[in-house]
Structure 1
Amino acid sequence: MAKNIILIGFMGVGKGSIAREIVKQHPMVALDTDDVIESMENRKIKKIFEEEGEAYFRAIEQHVAEWLESDVRNTLISTGGGFFKVKNLKKIGTVVLLHADFDTIHRRILAHPNAEKKLKKRPLFQDEARARALYDEREKHYMKAADIVIDVEGKSPEKIAKEIIKKVIRK
């Protein structure tokens, strides 16, 4: 099995921020699946959703997952909120769920200095009621997909990174 670490969790939970903090504390290569997709498609995720729809986006995610499984090793991989659905997730590496309740995630996004930009970047978070329903639908699937669950509520990115390094890298 690849010695990759895959960060999953609901959009806005902090996967990218925590990945950047892990890399500061433990030198390793990191990549973000949404960044890979945007590079492949030469357009933003929001544009892909608008122009092609979610099914097209999920097919690209699966393509990226297959590439990760076959060609990527010793890498920290932060993912989009729906990446947990890829068929080969467990074959890519150790799956770490960053978990917080919906209200915590929503408050975190709204408190961010670039809150408007953060919300625009997340097409499935445009309607709060729909986003909450999506969170409720996904939560049990995240738990099932995870090898390790890290509760991020009330913790700094530095503390969360230390916890992940201790549990996954230096176990």
Structure 2
Amino acid sequence: MQKNILLIGFMGVGKGALARELVRCDKSLYALDTDDMIESMTNTRIKKIFATAGETAFRALEQKTADWLAKNVTNAVISTGGGFYKVNNIKNIGTVVYLKADFSWILNRIMSAPNAKKKLKKRPLFQDIEKAKKLFEERYTAYEEVADIVIDVTGGDTGSVAEAILNRVSQQ
């Protein structure tokens, strides 16, 4: 297995922010974001991929990204899209850390952000809150099943959550 930390969890839980904090705490790591990688690879925004090609095409791009990560990347903290946990080789990429929080906390986190409109617009599956909640409920246990480590991020600041992740990963 690669020496990577793979952050999974529902959209808006803070995977990107925690990836940056983990890199700040451990200078031997660098951060990657699978959604950013897909946008670079296709020269298309995620929202547009969903709108024009559909979710199935997007999931195929996630698998292509996962295959590349497993073969080529080490010493990275990889923040993923909310559905990335479904890729068939996730365990070959690195230690899978599920950032766990309840739906109301995630929604409050997004809505109270200074750039809340931008954050919501960027998440195509979060356009309908009831639909997003249903999706959250469908994925909740699947995240735990895939994870090597589960970290509850509810109410935690990024610094203390990052420390907890690094401590748990070092024990693996």
Query: What's the TM-score, normalizing by structure 2?
Result: 0.97
Q: Quick one: distance in 1 between partners of 2:31 and 2:83?
A: 19
1:169, CA displacement in angstroms?
Answer: 3.5
Corresponding pairs, count: 171
List, as ranges, runs of 4+ consecutive aligned residues in structure 1 with deviation greater than 2 Å.
none
1:165, CA displacement in angstroms?
Answer: 1.0
Corresponding residue for 2:76? Answer: 75
Q: Quick one: distance in 2 between partners of 1:162 and 1:129?
A: 33
Corresponding residue for 1:121? Answer: 122
Identity of aligned residues (%): 58
Query: What's the TM-score, normalizing by structure 1?
Result: 0.98
2:32 matches 1:26: no
Which aligned pairs between 1:114-153 and structure 2 lie closer than 5 A? 114-153=115-154
**What code does the residue aligned with 1:108 have?**
R
1:12-56 per-residue CA deviation (whole Å, 9 max, x = no partner) reads 000000111111111111100000000001011001111110000
2:102 matches 1:101: yes
For the aligned residue pairs, the C-alpha RMSD in angstroms reads 0.9
Q: Quick one: distance in 2 between partners of 1:81 and 1:165?
A: 21
1:170, CA displacement in angstroms?
Answer: 6.3
Q: SS of 2:77's equivalent?
A: strand
Which aligned pairs between 1:56-95 and structure 2 lie closer than 5 A? 56-95=57-96
2:18 matches 1:3: no
Q: Quick one: distance in 1 between partners of 2:155 and 2:65?
A: 32
Q: SS of 1:16's equivalent?
A: helix
Flag structure 2 segments of 5+ consecutive residues without an equivalent: none
Corresponding residue for 1:16? Answer: 16
Corresponding residue for 1:162? Answer: 163
